Structures are given as C-alpha cells and as structure tokens.
Amino acid sequence: MAKVYRANVSARISQTCNCGKWISIYLKQGSFYFLHYECGIEPNGKGWKTPRWIFYSNKEIKKAYVRGFLDAEGSILIKPNNKIEVQISQKFKIVLEELKQILSQLEINSSVCKSADIFKLIISGKRSVQKFLEEIGSLHPSHQKKIEKCSLAWAENWIQRQENF
C-alpha cells in the first residue's frame, strides 16, 4: 500500500475469520483524501461515489463507466407493447444520481426512483434508449442479444415508415 499510494501506512491484524485474517489499514490524511475523493471509496466501506475524475473525463471514459454499471447491475427490458427500457439498480441513490448526471452530459435523459428497498435509474423514451444502446451499449452477452433485437426492430420500423411514405 505504501508504495502504491505513496503514503505512510500502518497495518495490524484486527480480527480473524475461518478464511484468513482481516487487516486494518490506517492511512494518513493525504491518502484518505486520494482514496475518498479521487477513487470514490467511502471510509466505512458502506458506500460508493463516482470518482471525481470520471466527471472531467472525455466521453469515452464516461461511456465505459456507465457501461460497466449496466453490465454489472443493469437490465434491458422489452415490454409487451414493444417499448424498451434500460434500468440500473443500486442500493445507494447517490451513485444513480451521479450516473444520471453523467448521462445528462452525454445528452441521454434518465430518472431515478425508489422501488421497494432499492433505487433504479431508468432510461425510457425511444430517443434516449436508442442513443444509450447505440453509443454506450453493453459487453454483457445477454444484453448484446437484446440490443441486437432492438436494432432490428428499429430498422424494420424505419423500413415500414419509408414504404408508407
């Protein structure tokens, strides 16, 4: 830790468990600032915030960050009326509010709501969903299949509109 963070670090074994030992790490204030504000790690381990540098990064970094959340904690829903919705669920509302802010910077509309004991970021509306899926997408195999279905449906719909024109 000391070499990685260039910080004065002291460690001690604080508890043991059947799988090994827990190590408490004590950091000086400069390291705390780096881990908390730059990396988004809460000191008590009970939360997460988006690292500040993400907000100031280029669009590709922001897209990759959001894509990671979709792949890990999100879903793409194709509803019976063929409306498509992208959802990302998270225990911590602040994380979704920060994702919403990043999506806003990417000109994608979204909303955050509470559902039971969890929060959800929801992207709905054809323009926002289409922009999200085309520009951000997903690396998760099941999400990629749904994105392909959506793309085909949009293309088919576009062809039908051209024929009716």
- Per-residue pLDDT reduced to its tens digit, 88-119: 998 889 889 999 999 999 999 999 999 888 99
Q: Is the domain of 87 the same as that of 29?
A: no
74 and 135 belong to one structural domain: yes
* Residue 10 backbone class (left: φ over 0; alpha: ψ -120 to 50; beta: rest): beta
Residues 34, 65, single domain; the answer is no
What is the model's pLDDT at position 104?
96
Number of domains in the chain: 2
Q: How many residues does the chain have?
A: 165
Is residue 31 assigned to a domain?
yes
Kindly report each contact of residues 80-84 with a partner whose C-beta sits within 8 Å and lies 24 or more positions away, as own/partner: 82/153, 83/124, 84/124, 84/126, 84/129, 84/133, 84/150
pTM: 0.69
The CATH number linked to 79 is 3.10.28.10
Q: Which band of pLDDT confidence, cut at 50, 70 and 90, is reported for residue 157?
A: low
Mean of per-residue pLDDT scores for the chain? 76
* 62: number of Cβ within 10 Å: 21
Does 146 lie in the same domain as 86?
A: yes
Is residue 56 included in any domain, yes or no? no
pLDDT band at 4 (very low <50, low <70, confident <90, very high): very low
Residues 160 and 94 in one domain: yes
| Residue-wise DSSP of 121-154 | EEE-SHHHHHHHHHHT---SHHHHHHHHHHHHHH
3-state secondary structure of 107: coil
34 lies in the same domain as 72: no
Handedness of CA 30, 31, 36, 38 (dihedral sign): positive
Is 62's pLDDT higher than 80? yes
pLDDT of residue 27: 47
Domain range for 149 is: 61-164
- pLDDT above 70: percentage of residues in the chain: 65
pLDDT greater than 70 at residue 41: no
Q: How confident is the model at residue 128 (pLDDT cuts 50, 70, 90)?
A: very high
Residue 46 within a domain:
no
